[in-house]
Amino acid sequence: MIYPPSPIRWHVKCKMTRTKKIDQMTYEAAKEIADKIVSHFQLIIVIIYVYCVIE
């Protein structure tokens, strides 16, 4: 199971990516954040699907 990162760690990572260059994220940091958002979204879809099938 994929667990979301702690709020502090997530906040620090987002802040660091925003401050690497003026108003620009690095590609690697932006990709990592986007991949985590997508994986969490996919997990939510699976949970909703399983819940609807059981009901």
Residues 6 or more apart in contact with residue 35 via CB below 8 angstroms: none
Q: Three-state DSSP class for 5?
A: coil
Query: N- to C-terminal Cα distance for the chain?
Result: 22
In tens, the pLDDT along 3-55 reads 665 555 666 666 665 555 555 667 777 788 888 888 888 888 888 888 888 76
In this prediction, residue 24 carries a pLDDT of 64
Q: Three-state DSSP class for 21?
A: strand
- What is the pTM for the complete model shown? 0.48
Alpha carbon distance 17, 14 (integer Å)? 5
